[in-house]
Chain A
Amino acid sequence: MEDRSHLTTLKGAYDHKMMEVTLRVRRYAGEGARAHTETYTVDVPVTATLLDCLDEIKDKQDGTLAFRKSCRMAVCGSCGMRMDGGAVLACKTAMKPFVDAGHTVTVSPMGNLPVIKDLVVDMAPFWSKIRAIKPYLDTGGAKAPEKEWRVTPVQGHLVSKEALCILCGCCVSECISMESDPDFLGPAALAKAYRFVGDVRDGDTRARLKDLSGAHGIWDCTRCYFCNQRCPKGVDPRDAIAKLGAEAFREGLTRDEGARHAKVFVNSAHKGGFLRETELVPKTIGPVAAITQIPFALQLARAGKVPNPLAPHKAKDNAEVKRLWKLLESQAPKQKERANSGAPIDGTES
């Protein structure tokens, strides 16, 4: 290392310690090629991130290694990839803990998206889902305010988490419902959808929720919470999907099987105290489809899995739960809160 001892004020700033990092990297040259794993060892500062290590490999050992990056500071959303099977931002993942633990990590491309080369995935399906939810404000023909929309801090906070999304795709990588149904809109697009459904300036709420309530929409989510676990920005997409579900309910959009399923639970708590499982099948999938479930239901009944519908279990003190339900329903807002388009909020012009 060159002598910087003359830099008295910055003394220490340059003499960083180094560490040796070994990485196993999934390599794939593109269509027709066979994927394989290669192992690299690099010498990097102890502060190095996974991205620093990949840069070091690409600069000094193997220029053919392909990966995306730009900002190096968890803002642009380019560097999503899997480390030991879970999606991370390479630029936000410090390597020292793994070195200290003596663990060699394996790096591979994100899941649920086609691989183009090495760690680079094709984001086209991701973008088409984002586009499908109409990712822009639609005031629903409302006249634009003379000066500006008035949004209180509380109203703005309704979508503050969803607004943090950097469109990196980490949440999509391990989405279980998307593994099973590739057309599922998925966590990133649905979080983005709530960013507009929950926006007090947006006027297209009902139509948006109607679209989102259909096939491949909010009721496809299996609540595995991988998206919340993976998101590097704290968006918590699963929570956003739950908020969409609540908004759909408020709008009375409960025809989808998923919404009907939820409705049985809502009703059972105050009507029977416990979930009435016997009602679940017919109410969720409708009486006609339920007939096809009869042999299955009989099988469950034989094993004693279906409680006797003639003797419904009642949680004690059910009346109080009923009163609670009525009170909360009377308190619940019937309409979406809208932004104030003119008059000052607190009576003082700012």
Chain B
Amino acid sequence: MQERYAYYPGCLASLSQKELDSSTRAIAAKLDVELIDMPSVTCCGAGDIHEAKPDYHLHLSARILGQAERSGAEVLLTICNVCTLNLRQANSKLQNDPAELARVNDNLKATGIGGYNGGVDVRHLLWEVSQGEGYDRFKSVATRSLEGLKVAPFYGCQILRPAKMLGFEDPDRPQSLERLIEACGAEAIDYPAKIKCCGFPIVLAREQVALGELVQPLQQATEAGADVMVTPCPLCHLSLDAWQKKASDHAGADFKIPVLHLAQLLGAAAGLDEQTLKFRRHITRLDDSVKGKLRLPSVVGR
């Protein structure tokens, strides 16, 4: 764990998933960690720019990484799987290919953009708090036990695979979310689809295919008796939460499982309230029994 991070919320937490941003800032403050804002960064391109215009993706990433470097931080902190993989893929290329780094820097210079020296690591919040000092710090602030809450961890794809780009843990048998769920005093539910896909990348272009993918984790988590799901990725969150009704219709089921951002779960255990965690912004509502198990201070939103 670092004392200060260059904080990259990405476009979802900046625009439509503001509850993730506020929860992250609050939990960072609890952990006594400084988040440095990078005010002029763009979207990472979410795999789409990477696919359509790979060179543009590389340069946009270098621009973001350069800003992180100039902030003085050694680590850029992400709170999204897709940002994590995208920036790590670009970073790995820039750090391991001096000719590419030089070419990219020439182009950045020619357009009046600050360069990048390859000195920043990209890490997800999940990795920082699920082991080592970060974990110890979290344990010490997780004073509100969520005992009795059954949580289905949903990792999503791009924080596990490809392992050679991410490499934090065994992509087939990850344990970091489980470790944190238990640190919150809650119970981690096991189910096979926790490492599978939420369908988000194709939910607009290939809705039927995507819904077929999304049904798996929702169904299995529900059948395993989970009260809520938790995910480290705002795109997975959007799929699991906002497309849940559509997934229900697709499967002829009636899923009603609230989905928490990782930072919200950590925040609840650290004693933060609805004002900060903003569960009211979710499409799939938390019912009273779940609110009770999350032990939110009594004045909760709608």
Q: Which residues of A contact B (CB under 8 A)?
A: 84-86, 176-177, 179-181, 184, 219-226, 228-229, 236, 238, 241-243, 245-246, 249, 256-266, 268-269, 273-275, 277, 280-281, 284-285, 296, 299-300, 303-307, 313, 315-317, 320-321, 323-325, 327-328, 331-332
Assess whether B162 is in contact with A315, with CB atoms less than 8 Å apart.
no
- Kindly identify which residue among B56, B213, B281, B283 contacts A328, using a CB–CB cutoff of 8 Å: B56
Q: Can you list 6 contacts pairing A with B, beta carbon distance less than 8 Å?
A: A225-B162, A229-B162, A246-B53, A249-B52, A275-B11, A285-B205
Which residues in B have their C-beta under 8 angstroms from that of A176? 196-197, 199, 213
Q: Are A332 and B63 within 8 A (Cβ)?
A: no
**What is the interface residue range for chain B against chain A?**
35 or more
- CB-nearest residue of chain A relative to B62? A324
B295 within 8 A of A: no
Do A263 and B52 touch (CB < 8 A)? yes
4 new A-B contacts at CB < 8 Å, known A221-B202, A269-B43, A316-B40: A220-B202, A225-B85, A262-B51, A305-B281
Q: How far is the CA of A223 from the CA of B242 in the complex (A)?
A: 20
Interface residue B41 (Cβ < 8 Å from any Cβ of A): yes
Of B16, B63, B197, which contacts A324 at CB under 8 A?
B63
Query: Shortest beta-carbon distance, B83 to chain A, in Å?
Result: 11
B287 within 8 A of A: no
Q: B206-218 interface mask toward A, CB cutoff 8 Å, 1 = contact, 0 = none?
A: 1011111100000
Please name all residues of chain A whose beta carbon is closer than 8 Å to the beta carbon of B113 when the two chains form the complex: 320, 324
Residues of A within 8 A of B85 (CB): 225
Any A CB within 8 A of the CB of B49: yes
- B85 vs chain A, min Cβ distance (A): 8
B298 beta carbon closer than 8 Å to chain A: no
A181/B212 in contact, CB under 8 A: yes
Contact present for B16 and A315 (CB under 8 Å)? no
Asked if B110 and A327 sit within 8 Å, CB to CB, the answer is yes
Contact A242 B18 (CB under 8 A): no
CB distance from B53 to the nearest CB of A (A): 6
Decide: A177 near B49, CB < 8 A? Known: A277-B15, A305-B283, A324-B63: no
User: Is the pair B53, A266 in contact by a Cβ cutoff of 8 Å?
Assistant: yes
State whether B196 touches A242 (Cβ < 8 A). Answer: no
Could you tell me the distance in whole angstroms from the C-beta of B285 to the nearest C-beta in chain A? 10
Identify B43's interface contact among A86, A257, A273, CB under 8 A: A273
Q: Which residues of B contact A222 (CB under 8 A)?
A: 157, 197, 199-202, 209-210, 213
B88 within 8 A of A: no
Closest B residue to A229 using CB positions: B161
